[in-house]
Structure 1
Amino acid sequence: METHRITVKAMVKNEVERVWECWTHPEHITQWNFAADSWCCPRAENDLKVGGRYMARMEAKDGSFGFDFEAIYDEVVRHKKISYTMMDGRQATTTFENSGNGTLVTTVFDPEDQNPLEMQEGGWQAILNNFKTYVEG
């Protein structure tokens, strides 16, 4: 079976140190980590080291649905790269590239097999777009 990886990107108009801080600190994660305005991220935990655990609670604001997104870190290179394995074995890597326009944030991830690829790409891109808006705001 061939695995298709999905890539999402955003150019964030801020220095890599600030982008990294907003990506990795729980008090920031809860402000941007959702794909639509009808959702929220009421809680996040982040032990940012190899073998450390990441957890973010995502919920519909009306309480109709929610889930915990959890992963274990495989690689952490400060201000450059974060790789992790999700609880179902899928992997994701996010890179942070300093450029003249700000910081290019790129995430490449293994899709799950429950939803169409386009839906997954759209959801992850929407979260990344929320991140960009938050950091630039």
Structure 2
Amino acid sequence: MTTQDQTVITVAATVNAPIDIVWKAWTNPSDIKKWNAASDDWHTPIAENDLRPGGKFSSRMEAKDGSFGFDFDGTYDEVITNELINYTLGDQRKVKITFEKNTDGVKITESFDAENTNPIEMQKAGWQAILDNFKKYVESSRSF
């Protein structure tokens, strides 16, 4: 599929926290391991992050019962601290994440190229669930 016929999915959430805290929790591997799951029966036991253009990231996402797992990885194309992250996944799909300060905290918007294996609604629901889990983690965390 070429880029011009690629379906782009967008999810968003507003996190009630200062931008510095949101950015740290989003990009710090020890934090990523705590929030990067779509449901309570999944987890991320390994996360690595070299947050710079050309830098690579990787998260190992697994069912807690060990029945399934996969690596989510890619390379950063553009990073503007507290504002923007653009990256290319290992399968060449593109992802754009914006961090926008507002009166309610920080609005995070993720737009990503859909993959061709799972239905669009399933992909959207999964990414939204992870984003909602991030929001819950940051807003309930006492470690910041």
Matched residue type, 1:86: L
Question: Is the counterpart of residue 8 in structure 1 residue 6 in structure 2?
Answer: no
Separation of aligned partners in 2, 1:13 and 1:107: 17
Q: Give ranges in structure 2 of 5+ residues lacking alignment.
A: none
Separation of aligned partners in 2, 1:90 and 1:101: 31
After the TM superposition, list the runs of 4 or more consecutive aligned residues in structure 1 that deviate by more than 4 angstroms. none
SS in 2 for 1:59: strand
Separation of aligned partners in 1, 2:37 and 2:95: 17
Matched residue type, 1:125: Q
SS in 2 for 1:124: helix
The structure 1 residue matched to 2:107, chosen from 81, 104, 109, is 104
Alignment RMSD (CA, Å): 0.7
Question: Is the counterpart of residue 17 in structure 1 residue 16 in structure 2?
Answer: no
Deviation at 1:12, TM superposition (A): 0.2
Separation of aligned partners in 2, 1:74 and 1:26: 19
Q: How many residues align?
A: 137
Matched residue type, 1:92: V
Q: Could you report, residue by residue, the CA deviation over 1:58-96 in whole angstroms, capped at 9, with x for unpaired residues?
A: 000000001110010000000000000001000001100
Matched residue type, 1:33: N
Trace 1:55-94 onto structure 2 (pairs within 5 A). 55-94=58-97
SS in 2 for 1:118: helix
What is the TM-score normalised by the length of structure 2? 0.94
Deviation at 1:3, TM superposition (A): 1.7
Question: Is the counterpart of residue 114 in structure 1 residue 117 in structure 2?
Answer: yes
SS in 2 for 1:112: coil
Matched residue type, 1:67: F
Partner residue of 1:43?
A: 46
| Identity value in percent | 53
What is the TM-score normalised by the length of structure 1? 0.98
SS in 2 for 1:105: strand
Separation of aligned partners in 2, 1:4 and 1:61: 31
Matched residue type, 1:70: D
